[in-house]
């Protein structure tokens, strides 16, 4: 549901910037985990692209650690729902990909430390 349908003012009228929404989306993504890995999906490198359009839509390209990941059905929907809940976001367009395939080299330094790979 768009913000206008919910009675919210469009982000431009609220004075919310694209940068603010981008940062808020990252913070929301950092609350999502693959239940088998104690690192959030942002630090794991599962989000390949995240951008806020001029219309305050959030476009995201994400992957999973494996095409057979047990949270393959639920995790993308959860990510989209959390981003959609950010005040000022008009719509969320989340696309899944497995190209390129996820690898441990996509993890942040922090994730590698947490998981004992450094």
Does a cis peptide bond (omega within 30 degrees of 0) precede residue 118?
no
Residue ranges per structural domain of the chain:
11-99
Q: What is the mean pLDDT of residues 92-114?
A: 96
- What is the band of 11 on the pLDDT scale with cuts at 50, 70, 90? low
Contact partners, residue 35, CB within 8 Å, separation at least 6:
70, 71
pLDDT for 41-79, tens place per residue?
Answer: 999 999 999 999 999 999 999 999 999 988 888 999 999
CATH architecture of 11-99: 2-Layer Sandwich (3.30)
Please tell me the predicted confidence (pLDDT) of residue 2.
Answer: 45
Instruction: Give the integer Cα–Cα distance in Å for 108 and 105.
Output: 8
Instruction: Give the integer Cα–Cα distance in Å for 45 and 62.
Output: 9
Instruction: Give the integer Cα–Cα distance in Å for 63 and 61.
Output: 7
The answer on pLDDT for 12 being more than 90 is: no
Pick the more confident residue, 11 or 111.
111
């Amino acid at each position: 549901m768009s913000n206008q349908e919910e009675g919210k003012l469009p982000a431009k009228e609220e004075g919310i910037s694209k940068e603010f929404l981008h940062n808020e989306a990252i913070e929301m993504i950092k609350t999502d985990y693959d239940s088998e890995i104690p690192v959030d999906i942002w630090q794991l490198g599962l989000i390949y692209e995240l951008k806020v359009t001029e219309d305050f839509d959030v476009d995201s390209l994400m992957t999973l650690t494996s095409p057979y990941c047990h949270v393959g059905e639920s995790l993308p929907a959860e990510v989209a729902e959390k981003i959609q809940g950010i005040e000022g976001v008009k719509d969320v367009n989340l696309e899944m990909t497995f190209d390129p395939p996820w690898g441990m080299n996509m993890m942040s330094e922090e994730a590698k430390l947490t998981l004992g790979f450094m």
